[in-house]
Amino acid sequence: MDHSPRTIFAMVKAGMRDEVLKSNTQWYCVSCYYCMVRCPQEIHITDIMYTLKRMAIQAGKYDAHVRDAPEFSETFIDYVKKYGRSFELGLASRYHLAHHPLDMPKMAPMGLGMWRKGRMDLAFSRKPIKGIDQLNKILAKAEEIGGLT
């Protein structure tokens, strides 16, 4: 992450729009809400990071080091629409095969570590969650108001 959230907010206040949108900070946000919980000003940092991602995509203002981040997000959203949840093995495989096929062997140790700690399920087939139709209605509404990209 090239800037802390505090620095990003200072850059926004200083009118450094292009620099903020080209930053990799928003792409490293994994929506864990840790920063929001700790923020003494109760700033909704995660929401701001989502907004910055959308703005960067719309403006085409993201650097080479995050050039395929929008495609990664789309792949994630596709899995949520299809299954109602993330599918880490499928997500990582699909993303790396499409964008970095030669780097896949380098990712194996991390994948195995995640599997050992119960963070990644190696099942190759998935069943959608109960209520997938309702979830897709919610996602369609979110997409309609500009909330998924």
Closest by CA to 62, choosing from 97, 92, 23, is 23
pLDDT in tens, 64-104: 667 777 788 888 888 889 999 888 788 888 888 888 888 88
Domain boundaries, the chain: 5-63, 68-144
pLDDT in tens, 6-35: 999 999 999 999 999 998 888 887 777 788
Nearest-angstrom CA–CA distance, 15 and 9:
10
Instruction: Evaluate the CA torsion angle 28, 31, 33, 36 in order and state its sign.
Output: positive
Residue 71 token pair = 């495609």
pLDDT in tens, 87-146: 878 888 888 888 888 888 888 888 888 888 887 777 766 789 999 999 999 989 988 887
pTM above 0.85, yes or no: no
Cα dihedral 123, 125, 131, 137, rounded to 10, equals: 110
Question: Residue 129: helix, strand or coil by DSSP?
Answer: coil
